[in-house]
Structure 1
Amino acid sequence: MINFRYHVVSLAAVFLALAIGLVVGTAAANGPLADTLNDQVNKITDEKEQLRDDLDQSRSELKKNSDFATEVAPMLLNSKLPGHNVLLVKIEGSDKDVDTAATGIATMLQTAGAKVTGTVTIKERFTAAASEDTLLDLAESSAPPGISGALPNNGKGQETSAALLAAVLVADKPGAPQVDGTRAVLSAYESGGYIDLAGDLKTPADAVIVIAGAPASGKDAKERNAVALTTVSRFALALSNDMVVAGLSANGLVSSVRADASIAKSVSTVDNAVTANGQVAAVLALVERIGGKTGHYGIGSGATSLLPKSASAASGS
């Protein structure tokens, strides 16, 4: 009869055999396996160093390209927009590069001889679906008498408010006087948390550059992005289309403009506005747009070239 002691001895023998087999197998394969692993580690290390070198080189080249664009900007832009008043409109996004793009474009506009009348930031609260009714009430209560009759009568708060802001901030001809009640309108929207203001904004702009951040995200992203496009449309309508939309990429608002045939034929776009190249392109695109031509520039989908080909010949007047 097999007793418990026999089972214990048998199990011990089995485990001992397994242990001896592992030791012998490891010892036999240790040399080739270790060499193979070392070769793979060395290869990965070399590839990592090469990638780091490539990244450093790419960053260096981008910096040189940016420096080059900054240096040639005066030659490309000098006296291209004398006497023009340009408003910057930022569509607030999650990417802080919007501020970098706006600052760079403002500098390029000044190089071109234009005056930046100020900056209006359309905040996320403005584009939220929950703000629709409140914005409609605000537009109806703050619109000056001379403008209220010209606002859209469709019950859409964001569109009505965009039309009102455009009416008090821009004019289709240089030198037009400021609309009575402009400051009260801007203060009402600013105090409500719908916009931020910078600059004196005392002179109506005869051209606009919209700087678009990253596209909206979340459950109401589609509605928010639609409001951004509607805002562009309303400003373009008030300006007779002397407008450029400059985005950080071809996604979001730039893509929406390019995909809308009715807007794309009258509003120019630039999709790399965070770079000096894109900032130069945005101003050149505005020069071209004032001259009556429309184009789409940058490096993303829908762009036809980096820069307007006819901008250097445009009069800018």
Structure 2
Amino acid sequence: MIDFRYHIVSIVAIFFALGAGVVLGAGPLKGTGSEVIQSQANKDRAALEDARAQLIQAKALDKYRDDYVAKVTAGLTDGKLANKKVAVVTMPNADNDMTNALADSVEKAGGQVTTRVSLDSKLFDPGQRQLVEPLVNELVTADITFPADSNTYQRAGLILARGIVAPDEGKPVDGESTKILSGLTGSKLLALKPTPKDRASLVVVVAGVPPTPAPDNATYDDAVDFAEGLDQGSAGVVVAGMPESAQNGGMLKTLRSDSEATKIVSSVDVANMPSGQATVVFALVEQAGGKAGQYGGVDAKNGVAPSAVQAKEN
């Protein structure tokens, strides 16, 4: 960016010098055009060097912070998810590196990631609602009871939950689960890998990276309802995202503005950092104990993370 600015400033200075030469000829300001160019070039070179130095320093400090946190928190989550199975569900446009880091954090804490479910953008496309509603009704099983006030996407979340999770550990993927997963994958609303053998009890939902320009917060209403449905059919859900997702135009912003959703669904808005990944683990532990909280660095109602007492008690 600074290199481009240097070229622009140089070109403007040249035209300025030419203009000054035309007006003044060989008068008293002769030669000042080249001096202006040289002076500006020197200033821009200095600015470029300063910016590069600042960038190098910022990257070094970021690396130090992440390495320090990773080392200091190493072992704090060990065994916290022992004997727990966790499904990872990614929203459209979720960051793959962050998703991998979250899955690794779950397994380092002793948990087992049973499957990764990738939700297609078509699922939340308003133009596809006429596909989602009848499919939900078609895939409902005898052991699913929809709350009387539930909407289409809460029900869709409950349907997926019946396919991949259960409120209790040790539930296998049965014929009803297979029917649901076949119906959802066959309609191209989602993809999953691997096909799970056992149903998990907990879910990490990875929020998508907010697009530019930022959409209206209401864009994520259906996604939040879906997460609620997943929570109602499992032992707990944590929605994890980057800080941007907790700002206007992000899923966590919408979630945290929904007082009913925040009673049951947890969120972490720094899941792209090692500290945030540890927080996701603690939030899963808290969910398994029947509690919910909103954690991170952007308008996080419950602070940076569940307290050590809560994590230990659960």
TM-score, with normalisation over the residues of structure 1? 0.80
Please point out which of 168, 171, 178 is paired with 1:173. Answer: 168
Q: Which residue of 2 aligns with 1:314?
A: 312
Structure 1 gaps of 5+ residues are 1-18
Q: Distance in 2 between matches of 1:29 and 1:119?
A: 71
Q: Which residue of 2 aligns with 1:8?
A: none
Q: Distance in 1 between matches of 2:309 and 2:121?
A: 34
Q: Which residue of 2 aligns with 1:30?
A: 30
Cα deviations by residue, 1:146-181 (Å, 9 ceiling, x for unpaired): 33xx23577954443222112232222222344531
Instruction: Give the 3 Å change call, closer, same or farther, for CA 103–45 of structure 1 in structure 2.
Output: same
Report if the CA contact (8 A) 1:271-1:299 is conserved: yes
Please point out which of 254, 257, 277 is paired with 1:256. Answer: 254
Q: Which residue of 1 aligns with 2:239?
A: 245
> Alignment length, in residue pairs?
291
Secondary structure in structure 2 of the residue aligned to 1:83: coil
Report if the CA contact (8 A) 2:163-2:199 is conserved: yes
Q: Which residue of 1 aligns with 2:134?
A: 137
TM-score, with normalisation over the residues of structure 2? 0.81
Please point out which of 188, 207, 229 is paired with 1:234. Answer: 229
Secondary structure in structure 2 of the residue aligned to 1:280: helix
Q: Distance in 1 between matches of 2:214 and 2:292?
A: 34
Q: Distance in 2 between matches of 1:217 and 1:161?
A: 28
Q: Distance in 1 between matches of 2:26 and 2:167?
A: 83
Q: Which residue of 2 aligns with 1:88?
A: 88
Secondary structure in structure 1 of the residue aligned to 2:116: strand
Report if the CA contact (8 A) 2:83-2:110 is conserved: yes
Q: Which residue of 1 aligns with 2:97?
A: 100
Q: Distance in 2 between matches of 1:151 and 1:216?
A: 33
Query: Alpha-carbon deviation of 1:103?
Result: 0.8
Report if the CA contact (8 A) 2:172-2:197 is conserved: no
Report if the CA contact (8 A) 1:163-1:234 is conserved: yes
Instruction: Give the 3 Å change call, closer, same or farther, for CA 267–159 of structure 1 in structure 2.
Output: closer
Query: Alpha-carbon deviation of 1:58?
Result: 1.3
Please point out which of 184, 190, 193 is paired with 1:189. Answer: 184
Instruction: Give the 3 Å change call, closer, same or farther, for CA 122–313 of structure 1 in structure 2.
Output: closer
Pick which of 205-214 and 219-228 moved more. 219-228
Instruction: Give the 3 Å change call, closer, same or farther, for CA 208–311 of structure 1 in structure 2.
Output: farther
Pick which of 190-199 and 63-72 moved more. 63-72
Query: Alpha-carbon deviation of 1:224?
Result: 4.4
Query: Alpha-carbon deviation of 1:135?
Result: 1.5
Q: Distance in 2 between matches of 1:176 and 1:247?
A: 28
Larger radius of gyration: 1
Report if the CA contact (8 A) 2:153-2:223 is conserved: no
| AA of the residue aligned to 1:89 | V
Q: Distance in 2 between matches of 1:298 and 1:169?
A: 28
Secondary structure in structure 1 of the residue aligned to 2:80: coil
1:296 aligns with 2:294: yes
Percent identity between the two aligned chains: 25
* Alignment RMSD: 2.9
| AA of the residue aligned to 1:181 | E
| AA of the residue aligned to 1:254 | L
Report if the CA contact (8 A) 1:152-1:159 is conserved: no
Query: Highest relative contact order (Cα 8 Å, sep 6+), 1 or 2?
Result: 1
Report if the CA contact (8 A) 1:88-1:210 is conserved: yes
Cα deviations by residue, 1:184-236 (Å, 9 ceiling, x for unpaired): 21111112110010123222222111110124679996664111111111112
Q: Which residue of 2 aligns with 1:278?
A: 276
Report if the CA contact (8 A) 1:91-1:210 is conserved: yes
Q: Distance in 2 between matches of 1:281 and 1:236?
A: 18
1:146 aligns with 2:140: no
Secondary structure in structure 2 of the residue aligned to 1:261: coil
Q: Which residue of 1 aligns with 2:3?
A: none
Report if the CA contact (8 A) 1:87-1:209 is conserved: yes
Q: Which residue of 2 aligns with 1:204?
A: 199
Instruction: Give the 3 Å change call, closer, same or farther, for CA 221–186 of structure 1 in structure 2.
Output: farther
Q: Which residue of 1 aligns with 2:51?
A: 51
